[in-house]
Amino acid sequence: MKIRALTGNEAMAEAMRQINPDVVAAYPITPATEVVQIFASFVANGLVDTEFIPVESEHSALSACIGAAAAGARVITSTSSQGLALMHEVLFIAAGLRAPIVICEVNRSISSPINIHCDHSDTMGSREAGWVQIYAEDAQEAYDLTIQAIKIAEEIFLPVMVSTDGFIISHCMQRVEVMEDKEVQEIIGVHRSPYSLFDKPITIGPLDLQDYFFEHKRQQIEVMNQSLPVIEKVMSEFNARFNRTYSIFKTYKIEDAEQVVVLCGSTCGTARVAIDKMREKGIKVGLVKLHIIRPFPHKELIELLKSFKLITVLDRSDTMSTMGGPIYVELRSAMYGCSQHPTIVDYIYGLGGRDIDVEQIMEVLLNGEEIIKQKKVATPIGYIGLRE
């Protein structure tokens, strides 16, 4: 293990170098540009064996990745925001074809208005595409989870995207523990595709009409269903080997909590500082950091969250359904099937890179205390740090 100073983008590029994919096809976009740029320099300097395909758009990038994955290759690409949006139709094709591609995604808002900074609108807008979605809190997690993502993808033959918060993490340098190349190769193993175009040619992606399309989609739902135990297995293997503590979600000080905050991404760290400060005041609050948004771990979350008095969701995007942010909408839907019904409220924060600090989160937690006391919710959906 080496201690290195890396940004989120450098950490993802370093993980890609150690994975040494067969094919990378990519098109640059802020703030993910560096991931591709740094990786391209690895290719130019002969540090990887990768066939690097510079393409003319993100649509082509992911299309080229699908072709390579169909041929049995280990494949990674990287994008952000509008780039992911331009990939949108191809995302569904990758998932439907069970192409084990990994996207190193850097979260950025979606136009318009145009903005280059972080929110989760891009990846949250791809929730229905059939990809496993993993969210990282910092550069260390971006590195670790990229390595786990390739293993998850290749074990269950599903595409996986790993996200970091644009600029906040992608361009923030920090101390990162980097494994030896050999260790990374040992944990990810050799990629073996059951259908490689080279040795057993088959037809991939033929017309599939009323007779079988439905069955194939049902199978896709089923593999999503079966992916959680595989994700957990890969995480625990990684944990055992590298002394980490990854799980589908991670709890913080929830044991005796009355109110629990649920969120994902870089704000989890800032929120844990807020939790500590509230605890100093004797207020019983805890936190759940979501790593996996797809598949949504509803059964596990119900079990975990059912007995708290209040669940405060923080969403860095909105669904435009007028029902709040995506984590809130999905968590509330999940909790409906549970006999105990904790109160759930939602706060939208940080759109377009708006900063969110410890004091703002403490204020939200104090509002939560008031809700618990009054047993009444005035407005279930709020906004943090917004001028109104």
Partner 1 sequence: MSKIFEIRWHGRGGQGAKTAALLFGESAMSTGKYFQAFPEYGPERMGAPVQAFNRLSDSPIILHCGIKEPDVVVVLDPTLLGSQPIMSGLKAEGAIIVNTTMDPKVLYNELGVTTQKVFTVDASGISRAILGRDLPNTPLLGALTKVLGIMTLDDLLSDIKKRLHKKFSDEVVEKNIQSIKKAYEEVQPQSVRSK
Residues of the shown chain interacting with partner 1 in the complex, contacts defined by CB under 8 A: 3, 5, 31, 116-117, 137-138, 165, 167-169, 171-175, 266-267, 269-270, 272-273, 276, 355-358
| CB of residue 174 to partner 1, shortest distance in Å | 5
| CB of residue 210 to partner 1, shortest distance in Å | 50
| CB of residue 274 to partner 1, shortest distance in Å | 10
Nearer to partner 1 among residue 4 and residue 298 (C-beta): 4
Separation of alpha carbons 88 and 82, rounded Å: 10
CA-to-CA separations, 60 to 34, 49, 126, 366, in angstroms, rounded: 19, 22, 18, 48
| CB of residue 175 to partner 1, shortest distance in Å | 5
Let me know the angle formed at the C-alpha of 296 by 291 and 298, rounded to the nearest 5 degrees.
110
Provide φ and ψ at 57, rounded to 5°. Answer: -165, 170
Nearer to partner 1 among residue 102 and residue 274 (C-beta): 274
| CB of residue 385 to partner 1, shortest distance in Å | 10
**CB within 8 Å of 68: residues ≥ 6 apart:** 22, 23, 25, 51, 75
Nearer to partner 1 among residue 63 and residue 170 (C-beta): 170
Nearer to partner 1 among residue 58 and residue 138 (C-beta): 138
Give residue 55's identity as a one-letter amino acid code: V
Identify whether the C-beta of residue 80 lies closer than 8 Å to the C-beta of residue 87: no
Please name which of 174, 167, 172 lies closest in space to residue 350, comparing C-alpha atoms: 167
| CB of residue 167 to partner 1, shortest distance in Å | 5
| CB of residue 359 to partner 1, shortest distance in Å | 9
Give residue 84's identity as a one-letter amino acid code: L
Residues in the chain, overall count: 388
Nearer to partner 1 among residue 6 and residue 257 (C-beta): 6
Please name which of 196, 215, 214 lies closest in space to residue 204, comparing C-alpha atoms: 196
DSSP-derived secondary structure letter, 262: E
Task: Classify 155 as helix, strand or coil.
Answer: helix
| CB of residue 360 to partner 1, shortest distance in Å | 9
Separation of alpha carbons 317 and 314, rounded Å: 9
| CB of residue 115 to partner 1, shortest distance in Å | 11
Task: Classify 228 as helix, strand or coil.
Answer: helix
Separation of alpha carbons 332 and 325, rounded Å: 11
Nearer to partner 1 among residue 126 and residue 170 (C-beta): 170
- Max CA pair span of the chain: 67
Q: At which residue do the structure tokens 């999905």 appear? A: 330
Work out the angle between the directed axes of helices 139-156 and 181-188 (0-180°, nearest 10): 30
Nearer to partner 1 among residue 13 and residue 90 (C-beta): 13
Separation of alpha carbons 69 and 100, rounded Å: 7
Nearer to partner 1 among residue 6 and residue 95 (C-beta): 6
| CB of residue 259 to partner 1, shortest distance in Å | 20
Identify whether the C-beta of residue 313 lies closer than 8 Å to the C-beta of residue 331: yes
Nearer to partner 1 among residue 175 and residue 281 (C-beta): 175
Nearer to partner 1 among residue 296 and residue 347 (C-beta): 347
Please name which of 134, 131, 158 lies closest in space to residue 145, comparing C-alpha atoms: 134
